[in-house]
A and B are shown apart, each in its own frame.
Chain A
Amino acid sequence: MGLRTPLFAEHERLGARIVPFGGWDMPLHYGSQLEEHHAVRRHAGVFDVSHMQPVDLAGPGARDFLRYLLANDVAKLKVPGKALYSCMLNDEGGVVDDLIVYYRGPNRYRIVVNAGTADKDLDWMHARATGLDVQIDRRRDLAMIAVQGPQAVALTAPLLPADCREAAAALKPFFAADGERWFVGRTGYTGEDGFEVMLPAAEAPGLWQGLIAAGAQPCGLGARDTLRLEAGMNLYGQDMDEGVGPLESGLGWTIAWEPADRAFVGREALAAVRDNPAHRVFVGLLLTGRGVLRGHQKVLVDGREVGEITSGGFAPTLERSIALARVAPGIGAGCAVDIRGKPVAAQVVKTTFVRNGKPMLDF
Chain B
Amino acid sequence: MSAVPADLRYTASHEWVMDNGDGTVTVGITDHAQEALGDIVFVETPEAGTEVEAGDACAVVESVKAASDIYAPLSGEVVEANPVLADTPEAINEDAYGKGWIFSLRLADPGALSGLLDAAGYQAVVDAEA
Binding site for B on A (CB under 8 A): 17, 28-29, 32-34, 222, 226, 290-292, 294, 313-314, 316, 321, 340
Contact = CB atoms under 8 A, between A and B. Distances in A.
B78 to A, nearest CB: 18
B42 A292 contact: yes
A33 B37 CA distance: 11
B44 interface: yes
Of A17, A34, A222, A321, most buried by chain B (CB within 10 Å of CB) is A34
B42 A291 contact: yes
B14 to A, nearest CB: 16
B56 to A, nearest CB: 14
Interface string B33-49: 00000110110100000
Nearest to B39: A34
Contact of A294 (B38, B44, B67): B67
12 contacts: A32-B38, A33-B38, A33-B39, A33-B64, A222-B38, A226-B64, A290-B44, A291-B44, A292-B42, A294-B67, A313-B64, A316-B64
A174 to B, nearest CB: 29
**B contacts with A: majority SS:** strand
B44 A222 contact: no
A290 B42 contact: yes
Interface of B: 38-39, 41-42, 44, 60, 62, 64-67
Given A222-B65, A292-B67, A294-B67, A32 B39 contact: yes
A314 B90 CA distance: 13
A29 B35 CA distance: 11
Given A226-B64, A291-B62, A340-B60, A314 B44 contact: no
A222 B64 contact: yes
Majority SS of interface residues in chain A?
A: mixed
A32 B94 CA distance: 12
Contacts of B65: 28, 33, 222
A215 to B, nearest CB: 22
Given A32-B38, A34-B64, A292-B62, 17 more contacts: A29-B38, A33-B38, A33-B39, A33-B64, A33-B65, A34-B39, A222-B38, A222-B65, A226-B64, A290-B44, A291-B44, A291-B62, A292-B67, A294-B66, A313-B64, A314-B41, A340-B60
A309 to B, nearest CB: 13
A216 to B, nearest CB: 20
B42 A314 contact: yes
A33 B36 CA distance: 12
A64 B60 CA distance: 54
